[in-house]
Amino acid sequence: MHFTAREDAEKMGQTNSGSESARLPPWAVSPEVWLMFRPKAAYEWLADAPEGRKNWTAARRPVYFAFLLGCFVSLVASQRLTLRHVAGGAINGGLLLLAQIAALRIVCWRERKVSFSRLVDLFFAGYGPWTLWILAFSAVWAFLPPERAFAFGWSGSIAVTAGLVTIWSVYINYRFFEGVLRRSKAGAAWDALRIWAMCWFVCILIFGWGALWSEYLRIPGR
Amino acid sequence: MNAARWISVCLVAVGLLAGTASDTSRKNPVVMLGGYRVLAADFHIHSFPLSWALLGPFDTVVEANRQGLDVIALTPHNLIWVGEAGQWFSRWTGSPRVILGEEIVSRRFHLLGIGIHRTIGWNQSAANAIDEIHAQGGIAIAAHPLKKYWRAYDAEARGKLDGTEVLHPLAYQDPKGYTEMQEFYARAKVTAIGDSDYHGLGPIGWCRTFVFVREDSEGGVLEAVRAGRTVVVDRDGKSYGNPQFIALAANDPEFQGLLRPPSEAGLRGNLAMTSRVCGMLGLLGLFVFGCFRPERSWRQIPGSGARG
pLDDT in tens, A24-66: 677 778 888 889 999 998 898 888 877 666 667 788 899 999 9
**Shortest alpha-carbon distance between residue B113 and chain A (Å):** 15
The three-class DSSP label of residue B164 is strand
Class of domain B32-251: alpha beta
CA distance A42 to A62: 19
Query: Does residue B163 have a pLDDT over 90?
Result: yes
Q: Is the Cβ pair A138, B297 closer than 8 Å?
A: no
Residue A109's Cβ-side half-sphere holds a number of Cα atoms within 13 Å equal to: 5
The long-range contacts involving A101-109, CB below 8 angstroms and separated by at least 24 positions, are: A101/A62, A102/A198, A103/A194, A103/A195, A103/A198, A103/A199, A103/A202, A104/A195, A106/A198, A107/A191, A107/A194, A107/A195, A108/A181
Q: Is the Cβ pair A207, B105 closer than 8 Å?
A: no
CA distance B89 to B74: 12
Query: Does residue B26 have a pLDDT over 80?
Result: no
Identify all chain A residues contacting B275, using CB atoms and an 8 Å cutoff. 80-82
Identify all chain A residues contacting B302, using CB atoms and an 8 Å cutoff. 14, 20-21, 23
Question: pLDDT digit string (tens) for B72-81?
Answer: 999 999 999 9
Q: Report DSSP state, residue A219.
A: P
The three-class DSSP label of residue A70 is helix
Proportion of chain A above pLDDT 90, given as a percent:
50
Q: pLDDT band at B263, cuts 50/70/90? A: low
Identify all chain A residues contacting B108, using CB atoms and an 8 Å cutoff. 221
Pairing mode of beta strands B239-241, B230-233: antiparallel
| B15, B106, B284 member nearest A81 (Cβ) | B15
B8 touching A (Cβ < 8 Å): no
The three-class DSSP label of residue B102 is strand
Query: Does residue A87 have a pLDDT over 50?
Result: yes
Do B196 and B186 touch, CB atoms closer than 8 A?
no
CA distance A90 to B279: 16
Secondary element (H or E) of residue B302: none
CA distance A24 to B302: 10
CA distance B104 to A186: 44
pLDDT at B195: 95
pLDDT at B159: 94
Task: Give the burial class of B31: count Cβ atoms within 10 A of its Cβ; 0-12 exposed, 13-18 middle, 19 or more buried.
Answer: buried
Choose, out of B5, B51, B54, the residue to mutate when testing the contact with A (most A CBs < 10 Å): B54
Do B77 and B46 touch, CB atoms closer than 8 A?
yes
B19 touching A (Cβ < 8 Å): yes
B101 touching A (Cβ < 8 Å): no
The three-class DSSP label of residue B44 is strand
Q: Is the Cβ pair B107, A215 closer than 8 Å?
A: yes
The CA-to-CA distance between both ends of chain A, in Å, stands at 52
Query: Does residue B303 have a pLDDT over 50?
Result: no
Complex ipTM more than 0.95, yes or no: no
CA distance A218 to B53: 21
Angle at CA of residue A12, ends A169 and A131, nearest 5°: 20
Q: What is the DSSP string of A133-164?
A: HHHHHHHHHHHS-HHHHHHHSSHHHHHHHHHH
Do B96 and B64 touch, CB atoms closer than 8 A?
yes
Question: pLDDT digit string (tens) for B198-247?
Answer: 998 888 988 999 999 999 999 999 999 999 999 999 878 899 999 999 99
pTM of the complete model: 0.88
User: In the beta sheet, which residues pair with residue B210?
Assistant: B40, B231
CA distance A44 to A7: 11
Q: Where are the domains of chain B?
A: 32-251
